[in-house]
Structure 1
Amino acid sequence: MVLSSLWYKPFTRQNALLVDIIHQLDKGNISLKALHMNDMPTGPGMIFLDSFSSPVEIQETIDACSTEETTKLIAVSVSPLPTSFTWMLLQSGVTEVFSWFEVEKPVQIIASRLSYWRVLEEHVGSLQTKLVGKSKRWLDTLRQIVDMALSNCPVLITGESGTGKELVAHEIHTLDIRFDKQDCIVVDCTNLIPGLSGSELFGHEKGAFTNAINTRDGAIALAHKGTLFLDELGELPLPLQAEFLRALQEGTYKRVGSNNWRKSQFRLVSATNRDLADEVKKGNFRQDLFYRVSGWTCQLPPLREHKEDIPVLAEHFFRNHHQIEQPIDRQVFDFLQLRDYPGNVRELQQLVNRIANKHLGEGPITIGDIPQSDWPDFRRMSTPPVSNDLELAINSLMYNGLGLKEIKDIVAEIAKKVAINHENGNLKMAAQRLGCSERILQMHQKAEPVSGFTMQQIG
């Protein structure tokens, strides 16, 4: 019975070794299908190489794989590889690299990777219904969240306010595979009151302080065999950091007013919008605690770094939070995507709430449903601003000897790329937006870049 199937492409001429490896994989119920010249790689695949393989040819295959989100690539060398070559492969987009004859049980390694990737993508698909988005940046983030959830290490979630840190923390707890997992206990470190904060975390004995009329369990006790989520960890008072560190290291704690040590085992998930490494340098956060809480760090991207997810998020909020099933005019999406969101997804959700509350009747959601207080500043829009980044880019191009025609060609190609991305690959809509023919954009997709320069390189 075939357990897995994947495509492969050889970049080595050591055919005898290659045949032997393929035979071993076949015996392990892993079926391989050769990738031919015009085939588009989809799903998991393998490339076989050695130290004489051409990095340029390998990169072309890796680039072709990157167009398919679910493609995972294993690079198997039939001879020892220089470390620099291995790192180059990983940086280029390969998921796993090893030398076949330098590891034990290579077939099992591949089988386990394939099995885990299937589980990973299943969880990512499920997670997308709650942590909405389909951009590459967001899908990469979701895969990292699943990876963290399926591990057993402490997790530190960082990101700006409004990026969804608390929601991610709860999903990590939900995906946690502990068979005897208990509840997720949330502590907002911004609400810890000096003098009573120890009670919030550790609990207290009756009579430990004024108004302590009963014995009370703290968050650490309640999180036993579950998850303790410390929101805004950077606000944890310094005196408590040392006590909390012991609870993490030893699994023991004392209630306020007690001399007895108690035990609690929990998984720690923390979140902060602060740079804790910088707080350590300033003396505001203990270095040893920082190392202990940041077993695995995930930084959630601000909305400005995955703005292509704005239409998907907006539809999700309209449909699921307001039960509005009417179509949404594309001008509304244009308005939403052109705005800045310093408050990130939370701010987008609040804006959608205002639009939804103003919308009446059964017709589509239009720009007339946008509250006047949210209208753009039309005085600023009357003359399109020239970005400082664009001016710097053009300066760089001129210093590199490019003339007006070359600069216009480069800007035109970038405009085509932006329009296509904005319309999620719909060439007809992108052409309407640019006021050009669809054929021009079809030619753009097939053609090589006008110049070796990119906006990132010249900015």
Structure 2
Amino acid sequence: MEKKRIIVVDDDKNTRLLIENILTKTRQYDVIQARNGEACLRKLNETHVNLILLDLQMPGIDGIETLKRIKKQAPHIPVIIMTAHGTIEKAVHSMKLGSYDFLTKPFPAERLKVTVKNALEAVALETEVKSLRSVLDSRFQFKNIIGRSGVMQEVFRAVEKVIDSDVTVLIQGESGTGKELIARAIHNESKVRHAKPFVAVNCTALPESLLESELFGHEKGAFTGAASRRIGKFELANGGTVFLDEIGEMSPSTQAKILRVLQEREFERLGGNALVKVNIRLLSATNKNLEEEVRKGTLREDLYYRISVFPIKLPPLRERKEDIPLLVSHFLERYSERENKKIKGIQREALNVLLGYHWPGNVRELENAIERAVVINNTGQIIMNDLPQHIVTFGREGIEYPDETLPRWIERLEIEVLQKTLLEFEGNITQAAKKLGIGRATIYRKAKKYNLPISK
């Protein structure tokens, strides 16, 4: 494997030598030394660099100014700030300017190696996401439906087969899998019907007494409160597509009328006798097992066979987790633009949590989580602290750490929680202790043990 090249920028020669010794022993890195900011910027022009370790306090241009110039010259290179003099405020300020993380001197060799590894992984992940985004062509994207997994490619191929047909399609899948998106894609890509209306009806959103009127319309005086004629959804969609979501939730009389529309292309408004002719395509969706509903007698067998000529089954997100990085990138781009924020990606640890979570709410739940993360993020990169707590808790349970002992796993988790909480409260021990429900002395002792920054 090709070694990563790292510039260590520090005016203290012994510090540079120590860091070089620690990193080169891993046999994964080549280290270049720079004694000040000017030397760092020169070397940046002369050679390819993967990461920079940058001291804050140096003669000439200081670390903050050097960081600004690095980000202007090579914004893709991760920078880890090192400081023995600065306060937590300076470290936080450097992260707002684009540094990946900071280390407070003296730092343990293990912390240095882990921080460098995480920074390089984050860049690799961001590069991968950009690469995936660049190939979001017809193979990986069908309108707003994204997926490179084998199961989603099968869905795309099925959709392509029925676009220019009038066959009825039954879209099956759990809530949040994107059934309406599939229906809209079929309609929008149709050469014949795309310019005509797409009318969606959620059959569970209306009481049965109103559903028939909603679908077929009514004449004036058809029932109490019917003060005038009302055009129903089938009539409104003439020439286009009707999408019935949760079609299994209908009374027998409504089922009979829909069957008539499919067979005869005609119906009568409630309270009327005149036949209304329509030319529509019917797409349906359900999260139920409709064959079981037929067996129970709650769904007409003849209607089931009419609406399910071409079934398309959408997989739950837990069965296509390889699509999660691509979906995260898509939602980050969407909500960053909406919130006018520059979110450059997601940390590896946060992505691992998303990959470990079981997603009962499927893609809709993932989208909501990323939207929330973008809104509350203030670091320019999504971190675990931006994710909903239940996702972090259960997502961690899905991550395996085969090489770690239980005490080491607990210690790593403890360091992570303490670091994020202290950053949240800018090193304030009292506030951090209150949030975590432990004593100030415990926070202070553990912060010293793990060399975490605290305010004086």
* 2:364 is the alignment partner of 1:346: yes
Superposed CA deviations along residues 279-327 of structure 1, whole A, max 9, x for unmatched, are: 0000010000011111110000111111000011011111112324413
- Give the secondary structure class of the aligned counterpart of 1:196: helix
Q: Which residue does 1:224 correspond to in 2? A: 238
Describe the shift of the 1:206–1:129 C-alpha distance in structure 2 as closer, same or farther (beyond 3 A). closer
Aligned to 2:375: 357
| CA-CA distance at 1:218 after TM superposition | 0.5
Q: Structure 1 residues 366, 275: CA separation in 2 closer, same or farther (over 3 Å shift)?
A: same
> Which residue does 2:187 correspond to in 1?
173
Alignment pair present for 1:210 and 2:228: no
**What secondary structure, in the 3-state scheme, does the structure 1 residue paired with 2:267 have?**
strand
Instruction: Specify the SS of the correspondent of 1:182.
Output: coil
**2:147 and 2:326 in contact (8 A); partners too:** yes
Where 2:393 maps in the other structure, the secondary structure is: coil
Q: Is residue 2:251 matched to residue 1:233? A: no
CA contact (8 A) 1:124 1:143 kept: no
- The answer on whether the counterparts of 2:140 and 2:153 sit within 8 Å (CA) in structure 1 is no
Q: Identical aligned pairs, as a percentage?
A: 41
**Corresponding residue pairs, total:** 264
Q: 1:151 to 1:381 in 2, by over 3 A?
A: closer
CA contact (8 A) 2:384 2:392 kept: no
> Does the Cα contact within 8 Å between 2:321 and 2:355 map onto a contact in 1?
yes
Structure 1 equivalent of residue 323 of structure 2: 309
Alignment of 1:32-431 (within 5 A): 124-125=138-139, 127-128=141-142, 130-178=144-192, 181-323=195-337, 324-361=342-379, 363-376=380-393
Query: How far, CA to CA, are the matches of 2:315 and 2:189 in structure 1?
Result: 21
Cα distance 1:195–1:369, how it changes in 2: closer, same or farther (>3 A)? closer
TM-score normalised by L of structure 2: 0.54
* 1:111-158 Cα distance to aligned partner (Å, 9 max, x none): xxxxxxxxxx99934844511121222112111112122322111100
Q: Provide the rounded CA distance (Å) in 1 between the counterparts of 2:348 and 2:399.
A: 21
Residue 27 of structure 1 corresponds to which residue in structure 2? Answer: none
Normalization by structure 1: what TM-score? 0.54
Given that 1:355 and 1:370 are in contact with CA atoms closer than 8 Å, whether structure 2 keeps it comes out as yes
Aligned to 1:453: none
For 2:194 and 2:328, the matched residues in 1 are separated by: 37
CA deviations over 1:381-415 (Å, ceiling 9, x no partner): 89979xxxxxxxxxxxxxxxxxxxxxxxxxxxxxx
Amino acid of the structure 1 residue aligned with 2:308: S
TM-aligned CA deviation for residue 372 of structure 1: 3.9
1: CA distance, partners of 2:376 / 2:336: 12
CA distance in 2, matches of 1:381, 1:338: 4
Residues 123 and 146 in structure 1, CA contact (< 8 A), matched pair in contact too: no
Letter in 2 for 1:370: L
- CA pair 132-257 structure 1, distance change in 2 beyond 3 A: same
Aligned partners of 1:382 and 1:316: how far apart in 2?
Answer: 23
Give the C-alpha shift of residue 344 in structure 1: 0.8
Contact 1:252 1:262 in 2 (8 A): yes
Structure 2: gaps spanning 5 or more residues: 1-134, 403-456
The alignment's C-alpha RMSD in Å is: 2.6
| Per-residue deviation, 1:192 | 2.9
* SS of residue in 2 equivalent to 1:228: strand
Contact 1:358 1:371 in 2 (8 A): no
1:80-127 C-alpha deviation (Å, 9 max, x unpaired): xxxxxxxxxxxxxxxxxxxxxxxxxxxxxxxxxxxxxxxxx9993484
1 CA distance for matches of 2:367 and 2:250? 29
Task: Supply the distance in 1 between the matched residues of 2:158 and 2:396 (Cα, whole angstroms).
Answer: 43
The amino acid across from 1:352 in the alignment is I
SS in 2 for 1:375: helix
Counterpart-to-counterpart distance in 2, 1:249 and 1:195 = 24
2:356–2:397 CA contact under 8 A, matched in 1? no
Change (3 A) 1:126 1:313: closer
For residue 131 of structure 1, what is the amino acid of its counterpart? I
Query: What letter is aligned with 1:366?
Result: I
Could you tell me whether the CA contact under 8 Å between 1:341 and 1:347 is conserved in 2? yes
Q: Distance in 2 between matches of 1:278 and 1:235?
A: 13
Structure 2 counterpart of 1:10: none
CA-CA distance at 1:239 after TM superposition = 1.7
Provide the rounded CA distance (Å) in 2 between the counterparts of 1:241 and 1:288.
10
Distance 2:234 2:261 in 1: 8
Distance 1:301 1:162 in 2: 10
8 Å CA contact 1:124, 1:146 repeated in 2? no
Distance in 2, matches of 1:377 and 1:130, equals 28
Structure 1 stretches lacking a partner, 5+ long: 1-120, 386-459
